[in-house]
Amino acid sequence: MSAANIGYLGGSYTLAAAVSSLLVAKYIDRFDRKHVVLVMLIGLSVATLMCANAWNMESLMATRMLAGFFAGPLVAIALAIVTDCVPVERRGRAMAIVMGAFSIAAIAGIPLGLKLASWYDWSAPFYIVGTSGMLVAVVVMVLLPSLKGHLQSTASTPEEVSLLALLSHRQVLLAMASLGVAVFSTFLLVPNLAVWLQLNVGVARDDLSLYYLVGGVTSVIALQVVGRMLDSMGGRVVAMGLAVGIVVVIADGFMHVSVLPPLVIFTLFMALTATRTIVATTVNTTVPAPKVRGAFMSLQSIGQHVFSGLAAILSSSLLVEEQHQLRNLELVAACALALSILQPLILQRLLKHQALSPATS
């Protein structure tokens, strides 16, 4: 594979997650949340183990798409559980803890996967992740209680949720747009950061682990700080502050010869974009009523995976590897910068509508 084509592999996973989220969105609120978690977690784990036995690029993409098919609803139901169980005044901190786990997985997973592949075989990361998923499924089965609170106000056979009716609410559309623009902006650059560090900046492959370790630890700390700020200051102020920081980092780090060291650029970008997603996701949890929360989170997952997948594919189509350099990075960064300015404006519009009308039903 050319390094410039990595985005296609990641994009297929996220687009498959979006399709599955769409297929289950109408029905996900009709079941015990625990049962949904178990089905999706076991499916994701089995599909990941199948990735380890891929024999070419096509078979790897197919098994990754299968894994994404289970991952989409799993993310949606996890966020629905957090929203069900945590009151609004503490939701920023709760979402920071949950999304901190996503950040650790996304950031630490790359250097750990590289190490496992170099020590053993390219398939080792897939075996480790798939087996770990099975172990987590056992823990969920034993420790997670039945979660049927969203069914208490419905009939014995819950009504099917109308996705078109849900999407007719202006708040829902603004919520999807706010998170989608944030994700699209982030994933224009994230899939290509490791290649950028090695080709354009000259970082040795063995040193990538240090970059991801520093970026990961900083991101987790930043998430907890911003989660508390979100609960005390509100989404509007925090979103504007993060947007300013992201614009500065993108402009300095990817659009010309950077003033700041590459490690600082990388760390700030990962931390600021991760916390921006937390702000958008936390604000969005106040939009749906409990009986349609799973459906809303599925739609949100669809948007998140579609935007991240399309961003990865778009960046791969624009970027070119020439003479051991990643070209056209300035163009991709300019798109990410423009979207970073737009995102807090959409979020402010959502907050304004929320002040005028209650949660969607």
Q: Under DSSP, is residue 288 helix (H, G, I), strand (E, B) or coil?
A: strand
Paired tokens of 44: 């994701």
Is there a domain that residue 313 lies in? yes
Is there a domain that residue 73 lies in? yes
Query: How would you write 317-342 as a 3-class SS string?
Result: HHCEEECCEEECHHHHHHHHHHHHHH
Provide the β-strand partners of residue 288.
360
How big is the chain, counted in residues? 361
Is there a domain that residue 58 lies in? yes
Rounded Cα gap, residues 199 and 145, in angstroms: 49
DSSP assignment of 70-91: HHHHHHHHHHHHHHHHS-GGGH
Is there a domain that residue 78 lies in? yes
Rounded Cα gap, residues 39 and 70, in angstroms: 8
Model pLDDT, residue 50? 93
Q: Under DSSP, is residue 304 helix (H, G, I), strand (E, B) or coil?
A: helix
Cβ atoms of 324 and 19 closer than 8 Å: no
> With 60 as the cut, is the pLDDT of residue 196 above it?
yes
Higher pLDDT, 361 or 18: 18
Rounded Cα gap, residues 193 and 211, in angstroms: 10
Model pLDDT, residue 4? 55
Number of domains in the chain: 1
**CATH code of the domain in which 309 resides:** 1.20.1250.20
Give me Rg for the CA atoms of the chain: 20
> With 70 as the cut, is the pLDDT of residue 236 above it?
yes
Cβ atoms of 149 and 84 closer than 8 Å: yes
Domain that holds residue 314: 3-356
> With 60 as the cut, is the pLDDT of residue 119 above it?
yes
pLDDT in tens, 167-194: 788 888 999 999 999 999 999 998 888 8
Query: For the residues 323-347, what does the mean pLDDT come to?
Result: 89
Provide the β-strand partners of residue 262.
none
Higher pLDDT, 11 or 275: 275
End-to-end CA distance of the chain: 47
> With 70 as the cut, is the pLDDT of residue 158 above it?
no
Instruction: Using alpha carbons, select from 317, 67, 30 the residue that is nearest to residue 161.
Output: 30
pLDDT in tens, 30-85: 778 888 889 999 999 999 999 899 888 788 888 989 998 898 888 878 878 887 88
**Which of 145-149, 179-183, 223-227, 313-317 has the lowest average pLDDT?**
145-149
Model pLDDT, residue 106? 64
Model pLDDT, residue 153? 55
Percentages (nearest 5) of helix, strand, coil residues in the chain: 80, 0, 15
Model pLDDT, residue 163? 72
Look up the pTM and report it.
0.74
Is there a domain that residue 361 lies in? no
Q: Under DSSP, is residue 215 helix (H, G, I), strand (E, B) or coil?
A: helix
Is there a domain that residue 135 lies in? yes
Percent of the chain past pLDDT 70, that is, above it, reads 91
